Structure 1
Amino acid sequence: MSRNVMERVLWQLCVERAAKQRFREDAAGFVQRFSLAPDEAQMILDFDVAGLQAAGVNPMLTMGFWQELSPQRSMRVYKQRLGCTDEQGAGFSAALKG
């Protein structure tokens, strides 16, 4: 796994306006520019925040990526994707510890 590359991709998508636009226009084309394994690229394309965090990606980057570009952008959905329970859903956390 190339955690550093995945983090660089998410960082660009969180802070660079041009990167966000390119991703919106052609997400698959955008991630192909990076040295990512197919499963890593797919996690980004699928907004698989749980998979990204399991691969060691910084939780603040996954949350920022979700808030910036996810079609759903709901923090409730974000937390569900991380596997949080209804009880955990009431509070705020960028990551859930198992």
Structure 2
Amino acid sequence: MKVENINNLFTKSNSNAIEKNATEATTFSDFLKNALDEVNELQINSENYTKLLALGEIDNIHDVPIAAEKAKVAFQMTLAIRNKVVDAYKEIMRMQV
């Protein structure tokens, strides 16, 4: 599994957001929704590969662990980003005005 592929997941959503921003105003919530949809799509893709493997309907067995690892890494990255956002929010809430 190449790091570039994982990086492309997030840069693709970022480039899509930039392209969309050029044509219309994109909100932060739209960007987050698109990124989460892509992570969800990877999770569903991994589940589908696993089902196909269990049914014996898959030709390339190596695709199953690759899809599972892509979904795992994307989910871990999403959790790491969420944790950073929560930490930043807590830090902002502790600031004196």
> How high is the TM-score relative to the length of structure 2?
0.35
Q: Which has the higher helix share?
A: 2
TM-score between the two structures when normalised by the length of structure 1 = 0.35
